[in-house]
Amino acid sequence: MSRAALTLERLLSRSARAQGGAGNGTSVILDGLEVPVRIKRHPRSRSLSMRIDPKNRGVSLTIAHGVPVSEALAFVHERKDWVTERLERLSEQPVVGDGAELAFRGEPYQVQWRADEGRQPCIIGDQIILGGDKDLIGRRLERWLRNEALETIKADAALYFDRAGIADPPRVGLTNARRRWGSCSTNSGLRIHWRLIMAPDMVRQSVVAHEVAHLRHMDHSADFYAWMDAIYQDNRIAADRWLKRHGHALNQLDFGEA
């Protein structure tokens, strides 16, 4: 039996002992690297699905109730090239810290930590300056950006609700979804990705206007885009182009562990 097969055999043996705790974390060894694996059972799941978990630098699996943990771990091992490639990309993510460049509303700033400054970030010239624990710079900057995003996006939404003639608008909140910049539903209201506060104003506003337009047209028909353009009143094509070109970089910024 090959070394890889022996490694997998040991992993499967270990996972069998953990069969009763599928929601708990375990790990697999891929090319000598221990990769954390979190397994979630879903009653309506009909197949194995896997995604990269950036916070744990591992993978997250969703499986049906009847699928053995050993089969789930084998699924990860079979796709080790895909997993290791994406984990390598994570390791190359720019980390937000002292001296890093950080965009705010489309403008570049340099992060500057000063021991004698307060914990709250503030913009002075072309710098974002803050003090406090130097090891927590990224987390404080993320909290600051989220707060700024919520207030700014609420103001954006109020403008487009008014233009759309919506007298009883839904609540407005933030999202951290990996694949969507915004969403709109009767249950969750209007939700916009907080990282858009780093993009130019017209880009963030185009996403807000897009979701507000969905309150009238829950599709992407010609009528939808005509209505969106009527309330947005800016260059939708240019905003879309910016997101396609730079959106991935927004998601790649690493603010550190929560």
100 occurs within a structural domain? no
How large is the average pLDDT for residues 122-139? Answer: 94
Q: Regarding beta strands 107-113 and 101-104, do their DSSP bridges make them parallel or antiparallel, or are they unpaired? A: antiparallel
Q: Is 151 in the same domain as 245?
A: yes
Highest mean pLDDT: which of 48-62, 76-90, 125-139?
125-139
* 109 neighbors 126 (Cβ within 8 angstroms): yes
Question: What phi, psi does 63 have (nearest 5°)?
Answer: -135, 160
**Does one domain contain both 149 and 214?**
yes
| Domain end point (choices 91, 107, 127) | 91
Average pLDDT over residues 141-145: 97
Q: State residue 2's pLDDT score.
A: 42
Q: Does 148 lie in the same domain as 79?
A: no
Structural domain includes residue 117: no
Looking at the structure, tell me whether residues 245 and 169 fall in a common domain.
Answer: yes
Q: 38 - beta bridge partners?
A: 25, 60
Residues 180 and 74 in one domain: no
Say if residue 146 is in the same domain as residue 230: yes
Task: Answer yes or no: is 25 within a domain.
Answer: yes
245 and 152 belong to one structural domain: yes
Convert the pLDDT of each residue in 177-232 to its tens digit: 877 999 998 788 999 999 999 999 999 999 999 999 999 999 999 999 999 999 99
State percent of the chain over pLDDT 90: 54
Contact 217, 229 (CB under 8 A): no
| Nearest CA-CA partner of 256 in 81, 146, 117, 95 | 95
Same domain, 144 and 85: no
Using pLDDT thresholds of 50, 70 and 90, give the confidence band for residue 20: very low
pTM of the model: 0.68
104 assigned to some structural domain: no
CATH label of the domain that carries residue 200: 3.30.2010.10
Domain count, the chain: 2
pLDDT exceeds cutoff 50 at 5: no
In a domain, 55, yes or no: yes
- Residue 14 scores a pLDDT above 80: no
Q: Of residues 64 and 211, which shows the higher confidence score?
A: 211
Q: Which residue has the tokens 């937000």?
A: 96
From 34, 66, 91, the end of a domain falls on 91
Q: Do 87 and 23 belong together in one domain? A: yes
How many whole angstroms from its chain centre is CA 152?
A: 19
In a domain, 102, yes or no: no
Residues 237 and 146 grouped into a single domain: yes
Per-residue confidence (pLDDT) for residue 24, from 0 to 100: 52
For 86-125, how does the pLDDT look when each residue is reduced to its tens digit (9 = 90+)? 887 766 557 788 999 999 999 999 999 999 999 999 999 9
Question: Is residue 54 assigned to a domain?
Answer: yes
Cβ within 8 Å of residue 244, ≥6 positions away: none
State the average pLDDT for the chain: 85
- Which of 91, 122, 145 represents a domain boundary (last residue)? 91
Are 44 and 51 a contacting pair, CB within 8 Å?
no
Which string of b and e fits 28-59 if b means at least 16 CB within 10 Å? bebeeeebebbbebeeebeebebebbbeeebb
149 and 83 assigned to the same domain: no
Q: What is the pLDDT of residue 93?
A: 59
The parent domain of residue 11 ranges over 3-91
Instruction: For the beta carbon of residue 163, count every other beta carbon within 10 angstroms.
Output: 14
My answer on whether 179 and 240 are in the same domain is yes
Give a yes or no: residue 8 inside a domain. Answer: yes
